[in-house]
């Protein structure tokens, strides 16, 4: 009998990695099995632009509201006000939808509170799975609410083993409900095609280091630009290319101009295809304050690039496996950053062959097929 799987992931920015993870997870169910029917809940129109992809991937959707608002919604205050407003009005329509459609599972990704409240009322009819998206900050409210909701949840999925360990140590959920499920980041055939597409917005015949991510405080591009400004004369005309958009664009661009780095640092904005940029780069740098696991390091590894990452608590540290799969620098430590990046750039790249190969092998865990194999077992219990 076909199982009906609902994905709940309202978002205010399509560039967040969770959007890609949800889409790939739902697609894996239709691509590799006929036993599951995935639906993405289009809560307020945030998934409208994905209609063509839904059709190609054989994914259905249910729309609750049509706010017809412009995304992304940037800024802490604006986003929090929207979360509160949306959470207050979606509760009863969501109960009505789940009662009517009777899904076997609802997998909860973003803006989780409305669905966690719903789980108190509908737990006998539908099973609820909480998917931890990103490395969670365990403030008092979140710890209290998650603990309160724990008995209503069938399972909790974490993207990394370090996050799983952290949840167990904090005794928030029942230990036997917590499972590691890696994100479905990679489609190998798609990457092979995308990485060879021509780049039209970069000067030709130059070498560059690349960093990718939303231009937010989390990604810590301020540190990266400041560090690059200090060592630019030691880089032999190597440029820095940053791919992404976000609320810190003006701040970052101002810093670049203040340091007269317009020719050395290029902000190219958001790009749907990042693999052709990765393919041409000589090094991938991640300067984030936190990641879990950090989709871009997985994508960089799939493109056979050496990864140079900040040593943060969760994702990158786990993926790089004690620097077996790349090189770590101490977060916000310019001295460590400088010594290591100059050593990388002044060394024969053959020295790093084993790190790149090991990282590429590690990518296998993050393919949509590997994700499906684990997910189908959880959904078949």
pLDDT recorded at residue 205: 81
Q: Where are the alpha helices (DSSP H) in 206-266?
A: 221-231, 249-258
Does 330 share its domain with 232?
yes
* Weakest-pLDDT range from 17-26, 133-142, 351-360: 133-142
Looking up tokens 């003006």 gives: 250
Could you tell me the pTM of the whole model?
A: 0.92
Q: What is the CATH number of the domain that holds 135?
A: 3.40.50.2000
Token digits of residue 365:
């865990």
pLDDT at 216 over 70: yes
| Rounded average pLDDT over 128-156 | 91
pLDDT recorded at residue 123: 65
pLDDT band at 296 (very low <50, low <70, confident <90, very high): very high
Which candidate, 183, 137, 185, places its Cα nearest to that of 160? 183
In order, the DSSP letters of 159-191 are: SSHHHHHHHHHTT-S-GGGEEE-----B-HHHH
Token digits of residue 119:
């789980």
Which candidate, 296, 302, 283, places its Cα nearest to that of 362? 302
- 29 and 375 in contact (C-beta within 8 Å)? yes
Count the Cβ atoms, other than its own, within 10 Å of residue 230: 12
Does 240 share its domain with 109?
no
Does 135 share its domain with 117?
yes
Does 256 share its domain with 292?
yes
pLDDT recorded at residue 167: 93
| Rounded average pLDDT over 264-283 | 94
pLDDT recorded at residue 25: 98
Report how far apart the first and last C-alpha atoms of the chain are (Å, whole number): 14
Which candidate, 82, 76, 5, places its Cα nearest to that of 46? 82
pLDDT recorded at residue 74: 81
Does 61 share its domain with 82?
yes
Token digits of residue 74:
């940037």
Looking up tokens 């990641």 gives: 291
- 190 and 27 in contact (C-beta within 8 Å)? no
d(CA 188, CA 29): 17
Q: Where are the alpha helices (DSSP H) in the chain?
A: 17-32, 51-57, 76-101, 113-122, 140-149, 161-169, 188-194, 221-231, 249-258, 275-280, 295-302, 315-320, 334-345, 353-362, 368-379
Does 328 share its domain with 375?
no
* Total number of domains in the chain: 2
Over 13-24, what HEC string results?
CCCCHHHHHHHH
pLDDT band at 276 (very low <50, low <70, confident <90, very high): very high
Torsion of CA 286, 290, 295, 300, to 10 degrees: 20
Looking up tokens 């039209």 gives: 200
pLDDT band at 108 (very low <50, low <70, confident <90, very high): very high
- 307 and 297 in contact (C-beta within 8 Å)? yes
Between residues 337 and 237, the one the model is more confident about: 337
pLDDT in tens, 323-380: 999 999 999 999 999 999 999 999 988 899 999 999 999 999 999 999 999 999 999 8
pLDDT in tens, 27-41: 999 999 999 999 999
Tell me which residue range forms the domain holding 322: 189-364
Pairing between β-strand 153-158 and β-strand 127-131 as defined by DSSP bridges: parallel
**What is the percentage of the chain residues whose pLDDT exceeds 90?**
78
Does 261 share its domain with 128?
no
Does 11 share its domain with 139?
yes
pLDDT at 201 over 90: no
Pairing between β-strand 208-212 and β-strand 60-63 as defined by DSSP bridges: unpaired
pLDDT recorded at residue 240: 96
Does 44 share its domain with 179?
yes
Write down the mean pLDDT value for the chain: 93
pLDDT band at 76 (very low <50, low <70, confident <90, very high): confident
- 241 and 209 in contact (C-beta within 8 Å)? yes
pLDDT band at 236 (very low <50, low <70, confident <90, very high): confident
Does 151 share its domain with 253?
no
d(CA 46, CA 48): 6
Does 39 share its domain with 144?
yes
Omega before 72 within 30 of 0, i.e. cis: yes
d(CA 70, CA 14): 11
Over 293-337, what HEC string results?
CCHHHHHHHHCCCCEEEECCCCHHHHHHCCCCCCEEECCCCHHHH
| Rounded average pLDDT over 153-174 | 93
pLDDT recorded at residue 367: 97
- Answer left, alpha or beta for residue 286, where phi above 0 means left and psi between -120 and 50 means alpha: beta
pLDDT recorded at residue 75: 80
Does 165 share its domain with 207?
no
């Amino acid at each position: 009998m076909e199982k009906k799987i609902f994905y709940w992931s309202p978002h205010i920015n399509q560039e967040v990695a969770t959007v890609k993870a949800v889409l790939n997870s739902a697609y894996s169910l239709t691509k590799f099995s006929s036993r599951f029917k995935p639906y993405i809940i289009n809560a307020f129109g945030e998934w409208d632009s994905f209609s063509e992809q839904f059709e190609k991937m054989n994914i259905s959707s249910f729309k609750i509201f049509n706010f017809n608002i412009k995304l992304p919604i940037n800024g802490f205050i604006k986003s929090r006000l929207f979360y509160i407003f949306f959470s207050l009005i979606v509760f009863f329509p969501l109960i009505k939808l789940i009662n009517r459609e009777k899904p076997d599972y609802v997998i909860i990704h973003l803006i989780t509170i409305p669905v966690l409240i719903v789980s108190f009322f509908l737990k006998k009819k539908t099973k609820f799975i909480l998917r931890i998206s990103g490395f969670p900050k365990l403030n008092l409210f979140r710890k209290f609410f998650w603990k309160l909701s724990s008995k209503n949840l069938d399972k909790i999925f974490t993207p990394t083993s370090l996050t799983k360990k952290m949840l167990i140590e904090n005794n928030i959920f029942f230990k036997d409900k917590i499972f590691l499920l890696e994100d479905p980041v990679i489609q190998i055939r798609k990457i092979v095609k995308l990485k060879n597409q021509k780049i039209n917005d970069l000067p030709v015949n130059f070498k560059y280091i690349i960093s990718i991510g939303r231009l937010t405080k989390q990604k810590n591009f301020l540190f990266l630009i400041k560090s690059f400004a200090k060592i630019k004369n030691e880089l032999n005309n190597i440029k820095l290319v940053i791919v992404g958009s976000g609320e810190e664009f003006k701040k970052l661009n101002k810093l670049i101009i203040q340091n007269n780095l317009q020719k050395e640092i290029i902000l190219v904005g958001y790009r749907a295809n990042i693999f052709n940029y990765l393919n041409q780069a000589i090094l991938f740098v991640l300067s984030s304050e936190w990641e879990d696991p950090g989709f871009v390091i997985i994508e960089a590894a799939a493109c056979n690039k050496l990864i140079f990452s900040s040593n943060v608590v969760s994702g990158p540290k786990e993926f790089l496996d004690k620097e077996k799969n790349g090189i770590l620098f101490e977060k916000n430590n310019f001295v460590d950053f400088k010594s290591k990046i100059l050593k990388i750039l002044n060394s024969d790249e053959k020295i790093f062959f084993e790190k790149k190969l090991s990282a590429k092998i590690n990518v296998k865990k993050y393919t949509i097929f590997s994700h499906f194999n684990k997910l189908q077992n959880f959904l078949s219990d």
